[in-house]
Structure 1
């Protein structure tokens, strides 16, 4: 059994590592190394790093439109092509290359959240559950039928936690799907177009915080944020990235501390950092002031209170 794997982030790297323990992964395709940081250094994707550690050949084409890219893929003679958060649209020449199928490990309950950012959108939409579907790829965007689907609760999970859980769930679902297909026991479920929703790519600044918004929405933005798409705002005149936060009224002390706090106000109370929102208060647990290291709210509050007193203001990043 010869498998070509295509993916890029940590979600995909987890699946690749598990897959390689059961099948012969003859090549790993991933996006070209990206320029990161102030030093403008080239950084390999998690899939590339994982593949290299496993001794799997790595391919990083910028496009599949070139005939030589298809020729290279065909030389691997794949029985399956497995795709997980690759980040590139695959043409029909790629989809028709394997002996069996191109299978996509898609991190949503299709047809809900087709597209590039299904995990983020499940959090932002306050979905109670999400999951993974093993989908047979076709030319449409995540429109193909699926043969295995697994679910889990979203709860108050952050993006990294939920992505890790979905990757592990997806790994097991993928192995089940491959076994079913090899035995001729798979049952394909056609997606219902009328139920489809789309998870567009998260744009720059989309997860930034604004005191004019509701506290639950702001908390979900923080949970859906990442290093690539942070939740930023301005606290006491200084830019900051909010890393961990939730509603302040989750306990009695928080309810008292948040009482009377208006939108755009900052309050330090009982070593807690509160940001006033349109309909409540957001308690910040961890943040990263611009130009400084990540710190907990107590450390930030201690320094800020000494400079600004016990109250102040916060605004949106570009207010």
Structure 2
């Protein structure tokens, strides 16, 4: 069906973390009428546990846009308020709340999602980290039409990028800007793009990251250990334990050496893995600032032969 789409669309934006901010800014700069911004409610953060608005809410308020922070969209009242916006479309980027069918159906063009993977690979909550952990050579952004299933809707537009040696933080930042650009591109001429049905047989699931997963497993090849380090940078941070203290590895390199897995094999803190070894580049002891390896070793002695947990 051909859509009669005005140049300036009446939109709702639905997002919460930093990943969603470039899209909100891009849609605003493109001149669309963003009549409401939905974000998750403020959460307590920082040492003082002060209630802090989400990054999207902060930017929306900066842009003088109306912000709504419902705990849920399941109530008839919330759905009626959304329907009353009379939207051309809702743009969704890492919102974090389930959208009931009444919400999905309300906008004329439906709800359009910016997803951080090349669907159907890595449907779910943590597509960037899962792509790095799996050693994928490329990932990207998919603009998709939302439906009731988890990231199962028709694909409208895609863009790929090499994973290379990027951390999750760097890759997320890159994909956020790509997603913003693609969404603006799509909304400028939606009739130019034919929906493509996803092949469920090719789907993989990007389950939410847990803090326990960031505990480095040296009983695997060094390449997989390095993937852990990159996937959990900046959060939750890949770590090992020594004498009851946690040490976060912010960056590392593979070294063509061998030794028992998890054991320090030289005075430069090279750590044996199942295959080859890794050497931290930037490391952080709990409660201390991150520092380059040599500066760290000047103040902390971890002898050759030490077994790290």
TM-score (ref. length: structure 2): 0.91
SS at match of 1:134: strand
3-state DSSP of counterpart to 1:189 = coil
Cα deviations by residue, 1:263-292 (Å, 9 ceiling, x for unpaired)? 2222554xx432222222111111221121
1:1-319 matched pairs, under 5 angstroms: 1-22=9-30, 23-181=32-190, 184-235=191-242, 238-249=245-256, 259-267=257-265, 269=267, 272-305=268-301, 308=302, 310-316=303-309
Confirm or deny: 8 A CA contact 1:158 1:224 kept in the other structure.
Answer: yes
SS for the counterpart of 2:189 is helix
Distance 1:222 1:155, change over 3 A: same
Give the number of equivalent residue pairs: 300
Deviations 1:71-119 (A, max 9, x none): 2222332211000111111110110111212100111111111111111
How far off is 1:68 after superposition? Answer: 2.0
Q: Provide TM-score, normalisation by structure 1.
A: 0.89
Counterpart Cα distance in 1 of 2:291 and 2:63? 36
Superposed CA deviations along residues 19-49 of structure 1, whole A, max 9, x for unmatched, are 1101222221111122224432222221111
User: Could you tell me which residue of structure 1 aligns to residue 6 of structure 2?
Assistant: none
C-alpha distance in 1 between matches for 2:258 and 2:130: 32
**Cα pair 2:264 2:308 within 8 Å, conserved:** no
Distance of 2:99 and 2:296 partners within structure 1: 47
Query: Distance in 2 between the 1:91 and 1:151 partners?
Result: 30
Name the structure 2 match of 1:255.
none
Structure 2: where are the runs of 5+ without partners?
1-8
The whole-number CA distance in structure 1 between the counterparts of 2:245 and 2:259 is 20
- Runs (5+) with no aligned partner, structure 1: 250-258
Runs (4+) of structure 1 exceeding 4 A deviation are none
How far, CA to CA, are the matches of 1:10 and 1:82 in structure 2? 15
Q: Could you say if the C-alpha distance between residues 153 and 146 of structure 1 is closer, same or farther in structure 2, counting changes exceeding 3 Å?
A: same
Deviation of 1:237 (Å):
5.0
Cα offset, 1:210, TM superposition: 2.3
Task: Give me the whole-angstrom Cα distance separating, in 2, the residues matched to 1:119 and 1:6.
Answer: 20
Q: Distance in 1 between matches of 2:143 and 2:86?
A: 22
Partner Cα distance (1:248, 1:129) in 2:
24
Determine the C-alpha separation between the residues in 1 that align with 2:41 and 2:305: 45
The answer as to whether partners of 1:214 and 1:280 remain within 8 angstroms in 2 is yes
Q: 2:218, 2:233 → 1: CA distance?
A: 20
For residue 37 of structure 2, give the secondary structure of its aligned residue in structure 1: strand
Change (3 A) 1:138 1:290: same
Q: Which stretch of the first structure deviates more once superposed, 12-21 or 36-45?
A: 36-45
Assess if the C-alpha contact under 8 Å between 2:13 and 2:24 holds in 1. yes
CA contact (8 A) 1:232 1:239 kept: yes
